[in-house]
């Protein structure tokens, strides 16, 4: 029997995502000037206020308040009527030095023997239902909000948009797990106040259907475009009004959108957030490594869909184990347990090896903090970072290294594909 599956995304202006972006901007600035920095930074945002807290071990000094303000302004919170803007909000820093009890389990004289920064399990997932090996409902939700943000910044076709928004897509699947059609789309977007609420809601609903959705469809491959039809149920600003939003509407915290950040509810999640953590924290680095493994296995033709789990003990170098579930789509004459064993032979999952393989000690994390950490474009960009004394550094930074398909040939050889 056909079934429905739903995923959601939130915009860069969502309170939790503001917090994530500030935390990851701090990570990037620390790594830019000291690549060996150990950082775990949490951010809270609310009406007119930002609170930074966490633990840092680094040889550099940063103006963390100014970094937070720059992020907020870049997102688009630049007006007093939002009750939260980068130029006037208060920024309180309660960042202190990392615990020696944690650090002693991570640092080693021999870099290769670096222990895991915490215990826990991490998951990576991939599916061939999209070109970027991501679940379709989540991929569409991200695309809708990225295009909505582009319309807001252009401020031409739609001129009343504010930064906070959410999207949700429900897809009907066949019995054999093939997307058949889009059943429903939910878009809630913050907006300027209107004189007439009924006219406002009618205008927003019309603009989303006739301006935003066609722009989204135009960016999709033909086989995904075919899933759109006139029978889609649209729920646009279903409460009727969304003027009060952002941190004034809801308090935001780092790490509260872990499903948006990963696979939209497909696969599994170990529970650890990513943003604000340097790559010695396996919550982050091992989640990227398992995505890298999963994507390369599917791209190599081993299976149509796969979940990869790895687990660690704090301070211990080798992982506790690797688990694989191909959901019955395995194309080789091996059990999932046998596949997991071969995966452990191909991919070195020691924390230091992951950092080196994926080049994770670059200031590459700000771009991950909105619209998902997975399924993004691997590219090299130029970045400039400035210290409080005016010293600047220009760097070429490779983004989303875990999205590279650089192990496909190795996998094909190992599995005789």
On whether 283 is known to bind a ligand per the annotation, the reply is: no
On whether 14 is known to bind a ligand per the annotation, the reply is: yes
On whether 241 is known to bind a ligand per the annotation, the reply is: yes
On whether 285 is known to bind a ligand per the annotation, the reply is: no
- For 59-72, write each residue's pLDDT tens digit: 999 999 999 999 99
Of 19, 76, 74, 47, give the one whose Cα is nearest residue 256.
19
On whether 273 is known to bind a ligand per the annotation, the reply is: yes
Q: What local confidence, expressed as pLDDT, does residue 100 receive?
A: 53
On whether 348 is known to bind a ligand per the annotation, the reply is: no
Q: What local confidence, expressed as pLDDT, does residue 197 receive?
A: 83
On whether 79 is known to bind a ligand per the annotation, the reply is: no
On whether 199 is known to bind a ligand per the annotation, the reply is: no
On whether 164 is known to bind a ligand per the annotation, the reply is: yes
On whether 111 is known to bind a ligand per the annotation, the reply is: no
Q: What local confidence, expressed as pLDDT, does residue 119 receive?
A: 85
On whether 98 is known to bind a ligand per the annotation, the reply is: yes
Q: What local confidence, expressed as pLDDT, does residue 101 receive?
A: 47
On whether 167 is known to bind a ligand per the annotation, the reply is: no
On whether 166 is known to bind a ligand per the annotation, the reply is: yes
| Domains of the chain and any CATH numbers | 3-8+136-245 (3.30.300.10), 15-108 (3.30.300.10), 120-128+265-415 (3.30.300.10)
On whether 284 is known to bind a ligand per the annotation, the reply is: no
| Rg of the chain, C-alpha, whole Å | 22
On whether 414 is known to bind a ligand per the annotation, the reply is: no
On whether 277 is known to bind a ligand per the annotation, the reply is: yes
- For 173-222, write each residue's pLDDT tens digit: 999 999 999 999 999 999 999 888 888 899 999 999 999 999 999 999 99
For the chain, which residues score pLDDT lower than 70? 98-113
Residue 403, both tokens = 């999205």
State how beta strands 379-386 and 233-236 pair. unpaired
Residue 336, both tokens = 């999932």
């Amino acid at each position: 029997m056909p079934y429905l599956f739903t995923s959601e995304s939130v915009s860069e202006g969502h309170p939790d995502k503001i917090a994530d972006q500030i935390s990851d901007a701090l990570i990037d600035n620390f790594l830019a000037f000291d690549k060996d920095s150990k950082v775990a930074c949490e951010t809270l945002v609310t009406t007119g206020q930002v609170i930074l807290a966490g633990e840092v071990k680094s040889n550099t000094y940063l103006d963390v308040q100014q970094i937070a303000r720059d992020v907020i302004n870049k997102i688009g919170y630049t007006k007093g009527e939002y009750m939260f803007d980068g130029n006037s909000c208060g920024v309180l820093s309660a960042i202190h030095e990392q615990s020696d009890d944690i650090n002693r389990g991570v640092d080693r004289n021999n870099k290769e023997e670096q222990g895991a920064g915490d215990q826990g399990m991490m998951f990576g997932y991939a599916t061939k239902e999209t070109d970027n090996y991501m679940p379709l409902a989540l991929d569409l939700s991200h695309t809708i909000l990225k295009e909505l943000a582009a319309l807001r910044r252009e401020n031409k076709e739609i001129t009343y948009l504010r930064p906070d928004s959410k999207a949700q897509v429900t897809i009907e699947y066949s019995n054999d797990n093939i997307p058949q059609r889009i059943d429903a789309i939910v878009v809630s977007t913050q907006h300027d106040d209107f004189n007439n609420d009924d006219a406002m809601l009618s205008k927003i609903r019309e603009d989303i259907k006739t301006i935003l959705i066609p722009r989204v469809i135009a960016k999709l491959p033909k086989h995904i475009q075919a899933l759109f039809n006139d029978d889609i149920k649209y729920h646009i600003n279903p409460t009727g009004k969304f003027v009060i939003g952002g941190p004034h509407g809801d308090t935001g915290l780092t790490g509260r959108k872990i499903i948006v950040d990963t696979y939209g509810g497909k696969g599994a999640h170990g529970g650890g957030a990513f943003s604000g953590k340097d790559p010695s924290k396996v919550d982050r680095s091992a989640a990227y490594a398992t995505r890298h493994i999963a994507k390369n296995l599917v791209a190599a033709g081993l299976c149509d869909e796969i979940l990869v789990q790895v687990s660690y003990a704090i301070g211990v170098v080798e992982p506790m184990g690797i688990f694989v579930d191909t959901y019955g789509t395995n194309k080789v004459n091996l059990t999932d347990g046998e596949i997991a064993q071969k995966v452990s032979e191909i991919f070195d999952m020691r924390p230091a090896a992951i950092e080196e393989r994926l080049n994770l000690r670059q200031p590459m994390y700000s771009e991950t903090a909105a619209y998902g950490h997975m399924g993004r474009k691997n590219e090299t960009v130029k970045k400039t970072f400035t210290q409080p004394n005016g010293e600047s550094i220009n760097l070429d930074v490779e983004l989303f290294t875990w999205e590279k398909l650089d192990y496909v040939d190795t996998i094909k050889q190992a599995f005789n594909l």
